[in-house]
Chain A
Amino acid sequence: MSAIVPTIAPRTTWTSYMARRRRALYISSPIGLGHAQRDVSIADELRRLRPDVEIDWLAQSPVTTVLEDRGERIHPMSAELASESAHWTSEAFDHDLNAFQALRRMDEILLTNFMVFLDVLEEGEYDLVIGDESWDVDHYLHENPELKNTAFAWLTDFVGMLPMPSGGEREAFLTTDYNAEMIEHVERFPRIRDRAIFVGTPDDIVPDDFGPGLPSIRAWTEQHYDFSGYITGFDPSPLIERREELRRELGYQPDERVVIVTVGGSGVGGSLLRRVIASYPDAARRVNGLRMIAVAGPRIDPASLDAVPGVEVRAYVPELYKHLAACDLAVVQGGLTTTMELAAARRPFLYFPLRDHFEQSRHVRHRLERYGAGRHMDYDASPPEVIATAIAEEIDRPVASRPVESDGAARAAELIAPLV
């Protein structure tokens, strides 16, 4: 005889507005390393303005590492997200990453993650969704406007897909088509983005058009976005003031000239590391007391880097940002976060945008040139001797770049707070 199981009819709770807590769902892009830091600083500022707001994070590695360290509340459905960073790693090889095509080829992952997002929204009673380059949420909400049932604040640090020369006419056609679709979306449904925040200033916007027959990116973005200024995620001034002290703490001698070479946490960058390492003997002849530290990061085997005598190869450097603030020169890829950290810390640096990476090659470069920060290097035109020359030229050049604003997170939070 089978056991008698009492059947329970479905039970639901509807929450009256008096009983509703202020709730926000924060989606922080895992592409690149920079979003986590700026997003937690925006969250801090938002809590300052709305002390009772509860923030859940829909996030994946590497963002979750930062969130876990701070004890942030990560929504359990985050575990269901398909990995975006694994996709980006798979798209990269040598010093090459076509960011536009990588984003296009992420369509399956983006759609899958949007479906997770919808399930989270259905159950969460959220007042607000904050999406920092949450491409899936922004795109598919515009495609399915009837599904939007919270306020939505959208943040990005670049607007406009731009073609790279290697993509030829085909890529120019595609970027134009993507931009046209985005413009149609935003202009047809202004109710989707309750706030659109450009992380930067109007001067940071590239001077290009969206494509033939489409508007100027700057003019259109000024019409459709608010501007927070850059968001560093930390206050650089103590680091700048304490630089000599920092150097002592980190064991750098006064007569040493320290060059830090880092490619972030991705697996992309082994070839740049090797090439910069190869430049060391030549650079050391030109720069007295030159000390080079190459940071391999978690995904590159230090033994694979063919270190030459005089170069220290380290797998991991805790609190790397302090070393970057204390060094005499940094050599990095062209990602926005690291280069702007260096600009904020007022350090000279060489940066090598990834080949075919439109954001690094066009948007980030434009912004850095506006600040007068760093020296752009073309990887293909930079054999070791060219790098050695650039190191020698830049290491003693006084930093004359514009200061990086430090109130960006507060300004972003002020724009977002009225929505929750």
Chain B
Amino acid sequence: MATVLATDRRHSDATRAREPDATGFIERDGVRVFWERYGDGSPTLLLMPTWSLFHSRHWKLQIPYFARLFRVVTFDGRGNGHSDRPTESSAYADTEYVADALAVLDATGTDRAVVAGLSMGAGYTLRLAAEHPERVLGAVFIGSSVPILDRPDGGPEVQVDAAFYGPQEPEGDWRNYNADYWRRDFPGFAAWFVGEKIFSEPHSTKPIEDGIGWTLETDAETLIAVEPGPYLWPPPEWGPRDPFEGRAMPFARRVRCPALVIHGAEDRLSSLAVGERLAAELGAPLITVAGGGHAPQGRWPVLVNRAIRDFVRSIGSQP
């Protein structure tokens, strides 16, 4: 993959296919989070934030379509876009993203929504669906990055690999996943991660440019703060855990709403096995994108849009 240069700043806010009908901020514990609402159909589709690497524009190919068919609410996850960038890691816990989602639903007058999430956004969606079933009509999990696979050694889990904090390794596929490197060459990290790990399919130059542009709207220090934010740790009141199962499993077991799983067979960040396991546990249909990478909503939007449309309609027609 050729190196991708920084995006053309002059056009960083290129013409949208559809402008929001309403925008606003919610504020929780001093952190302001920016939301947008589109369309006035039904039901509402809540498009969740993902890792703060991206903001809500990662749904740019979904928003105009679903705004025409349904009603769309989305928001910039804390740490990117128009939302604040708190400096302490605790502000980036999955529970905070979930609480932001609930506050945005309230602010937009939305009782319940079909919820969709990409990558870590699938994890936030999972937690939202498991803990707040009264707000979630259905859930869509795309390129899910959730710790759901079995852990044969049953050893202790850590949120962040030690290699993240040490000096950058001289070699290795993941050597660029390193705080020191991010501080030295954040654009280089963005080009590598977005260009080689997320949009790994051929002929993806535009999604890659977009993704790098969104990444460069935040910065290394913010993403370093995000990194140790707690993610999908089952609450103690759920009782003792099986150390050999992935810690996302207790969440998946608690989801009662209809669900849909979409996963690229060539996903370089989260293997297809994750999507398969999640779908099996949820009893949800799985759409495998053969030849697809980590972010099919950006690279294969027609497929994803039609799949979500059919899913939402199937919920709408349920008694």
Q: Is the CB of B11 within 8 A of A105?
A: yes
A residues neighboring B (CB under 8 Å): 80, 82-83, 86-87, 90-91, 101, 104-109, 111-116, 118, 140, 143-144, 147, 170, 173-174, 177-178, 180-181, 184
Max chain A Cβ within 10 angstroms of own Cβ: one of B5, B15, B64, B68? B15
Q: Among A104, A116, A140, A173, point to the contact of B2 (Cβ < 8 A).
A: A173
Nearest-Cβ distance from residue A309 to partner chain B, whole angstroms: 38
Q: Roughly how many angstroms separate A105 CA and B301 CA in the complex, as a whole number?
A: 16
Q: Is the CB of B206 within 8 A of A112?
A: no
Residues of chain B with a CB closer than 8 A to A174's CB:
205
Known contacts: A108-B60, A108-B64, A173-B2. The answer to whether A115 contacts B302 by CB under 8 A is: yes
CB-defined A-B contacts under 8 Å, sample of 17: A82-B17, A87-B15, A104-B206, A106-B15, A108-B14, A108-B60, A111-B17, A111-B61, A111-B302, A112-B18, A112-B61, A112-B64, A115-B68, A118-B306, A147-B302, A177-B205, A184-B203
Which chain B residue lies CB-closest to A110? B17
B65 at the interface (CB under 8 A from A): yes
Q: Is the CB of A180 within 8 A of B2?
A: no
Residues of chain B with a CB closer than 8 A to A173's CB:
2
Q: Known pairs A90-B15, A116-B68. 5 more at Cβ < 8 A?
A: A105-B14, A112-B17, A115-B64, A144-B302, A173-B2
Nearest-Cβ distance from residue A407 to partner chain B, whole angstroms: 38
Max chain A Cβ within 10 angstroms of own Cβ: one of B11, B17, B60, B300? B17
Q: Is the CB of B15 within 8 A of A144?
A: no
Q: Roughly how many angstroms separate A103 CA and B251 CA in the complex, as a whole number?
A: 43
Q: Is the CB of B302 within 8 A of A114?
A: yes
Residues of chain A with a CB closer than 8 A to B9's CB:
none
B303 at the interface (CB under 8 A from A): yes
Known contacts: A112-B64, A174-B205. The answer to whether A143 contacts B300 by CB under 8 A is: yes
Residues of chain A with a CB closer than 8 A to B205's CB:
104, 174, 177
Q: Roughly how many angstroms separate A105 CA and B115 CA in the complex, as a whole number?
A: 28
B16 at the interface (CB under 8 A from A): yes
Q: Roughly how many angstroms separate A116 CA and B205 CA in the complex, as a whole number?
A: 25
Residues of chain B with a CB closer than 8 A to A180's CB:
203
B305 at the interface (CB under 8 A from A): yes
Contacting residues of chain B (96-115) with chain A, CB-CB under 8 angstroms? none
Which chain A residue lies CB-closest to B317? A10
Known contacts: A108-B64, A173-B2. The answer to whether A181 contacts B15 by CB under 8 A is: no
Q: Among A104, A107, A143, A184, point to the contact of B302 (Cβ < 8 A).
A: A143
Q: Roughly how many angstroms separate A416 CA and B159 CA in the complex, as a whole number?
A: 61
Q: Roughly how many angstroms separate A195 CA and B131 CA in the complex, as a whole number?
A: 55
Residues of chain A with a CB closer than 8 A to B60's CB:
108
Nearest-Cβ distance from residue B209 to partner chain A, whole angstroms: 8
Nearest-Cβ distance from residue A242 to partner chain B, whole angstroms: 43
Which chain A residue lies CB-closest to B202? A181
Q: Roughly how many angstroms separate A93 CA and B226 CA in the complex, as a whole number?
A: 40
Known contacts: A115-B302, A140-B302, A143-B300. The answer to whether A177 contacts B17 by CB under 8 A is: no
Q: Roughly how many angstroms separate A116 CA and B16 CA in the complex, as a whole number?
A: 16
B residues neighboring A (CB under 8 Å): 2, 5, 8, 11, 14-18, 60-61, 64-65, 68, 202-203, 205-206, 300-303, 305-306
Residues of chain A with a CB closer than 8 A to B8's CB:
101
Q: Roughly how many angstroms separate A170 CA and B8 CA in the complex, as a whole number?
A: 12
Q: Roughly how many angstroms separate A143 CA and B65 CA in the complex, as a whole number?
A: 18
Q: Roughly how many angstroms separate A80 CA and B41 CA in the complex, as a whole number?
A: 15
Nearest-Cβ distance from residue B307 to partner chain A, whole angstroms: 12
Residues of chain A with a CB closer than 8 A to B302's CB:
111, 114-115, 118, 140, 143-144, 147
Residues of chain B with a CB closer than 8 A to A115's CB:
64-65, 68, 302, 305
Q: Is the CB of A82 within 8 A of B18?
A: yes
Residues of chain B with a CB closer than 8 A to A108's CB:
14-17, 60-61, 64
Q: Roughly how many angstroms separate A83 CA and B65 CA in the complex, as a whole number?
A: 14
Q: Roughly how many angstroms separate A90 CA and B12 CA in the complex, as a whole number?
A: 12
Q: Roughly how many angstroms separate A239 CA and B206 CA in the complex, as a whole number?
A: 46
Nearest-Cβ distance from residue A287 to partner chain B, whole angstroms: 40
Q: Roughly how many angstroms separate A370 CA and B178 CA in the complex, as a whole number?
A: 57
Q: Roughly how many angstroms separate A174 CA and B206 CA in the complex, as a whole number?
A: 9
Residues of chain B with a CB closer than 8 A to A86's CB:
15
Known contacts: A177-B203, A177-B205. The answer to whether A109 contacts B17 by CB under 8 A is: yes
Which chain B residue lies CB-closest to A105? B14
Residues of chain B with a CB closer than 8 A to A113's CB:
17
Nearest-Cβ distance from residue B62 to partner chain A, whole angstroms: 9
Q: Roughly how many angstroms separate A113 CA and B206 CA in the complex, as a whole number?
A: 18
Which chain B residue lies CB-closest to A116? B68
Which chain A residue lies CB-closest to B65? A115
Nearest-Cβ distance from residue A77 to partner chain B, whole angstroms: 10
Q: Which 3 A-B pairs have the closest CB atoms?
A: A82-B17, A112-B17, A112-B64
Residues of chain B with a CB closer than 8 A to A118's CB:
302, 306
Q: Among A91, A112, A144, A147, point to the contact of B65 (Cβ < 8 A).
A: A112
Nearest-Cβ distance from residue B169 to partner chain A, whole angstroms: 30
Which chain A residue lies CB-closest to B16? A108
Which chain B residue lies CB-closest to A106? B15
Which chain B residue lies CB-closest to A182? B203
Q: Roughly how many angstroms separate A184 CA and B291 CA in the complex, as a whole number?
A: 15
Residues of chain A with a CB closer than 8 A to B17's CB:
82, 108-109, 111-113
Nearest-Cβ distance from residue A146 to partner chain B, whole angstroms: 10
Q: Roughly how many angstroms separate A143 CA and B5 CA in the complex, as a whole number?
A: 26
Which chain A residue lies CB-closest to B309? A115
Nearest-Cβ distance from residue B207 to partner chain A, whole angstroms: 8
Q: Roughly how many angstroms separate A177 CA and B301 CA in the complex, as a whole number?
A: 20
Q: Is the CB of A80 within 8 A of B68?
A: yes
Nearest-Cβ distance from residue B305 to partner chain A, whole angstroms: 6
Q: Is the CB of A111 within 8 A of B203?
A: no
Which chain A residue lies CB-closest to B10? A93
Residues of chain A with a CB closer than 8 A to B206's CB:
104, 107
Q: Roughly how many angstroms separate A143 CA and B305 CA in the complex, as a whole number?
A: 14
Which chain B residue lies CB-closest to A141? B302
Q: Roughly how many angstroms separate A106 CA and B17 CA in the complex, as a whole number?
A: 9
Nearest-Cβ distance from residue B65 to partner chain A, whole angstroms: 5
Max chain B Cβ within 10 angstroms of own Cβ: one of A91, A111, A116, A173? A111
Residues of chain B with a CB closer than 8 A to A106's CB:
15
Residues of chain A with a CB closer than 8 A to B305's CB:
115
Which chain A residue lies CB-closest to B300? A143
Q: Is the CB of B301 within 8 A of A111?
A: yes
Nearest-Cβ distance from residue B2 to partner chain A, whole angstroms: 6
Nearest-Cβ distance from residue A52 to partner chain B, whole angstroms: 33
Q: Roughly how many angstroms separate A106 CA and B65 CA in the complex, as a whole number?
A: 15
Q: Roughly how many angstroms separate A123 CA and B305 CA in the complex, as a whole number?
A: 18
Q: Roughly how many angstroms separate A83 CA and B19 CA in the complex, as a whole number?
A: 12
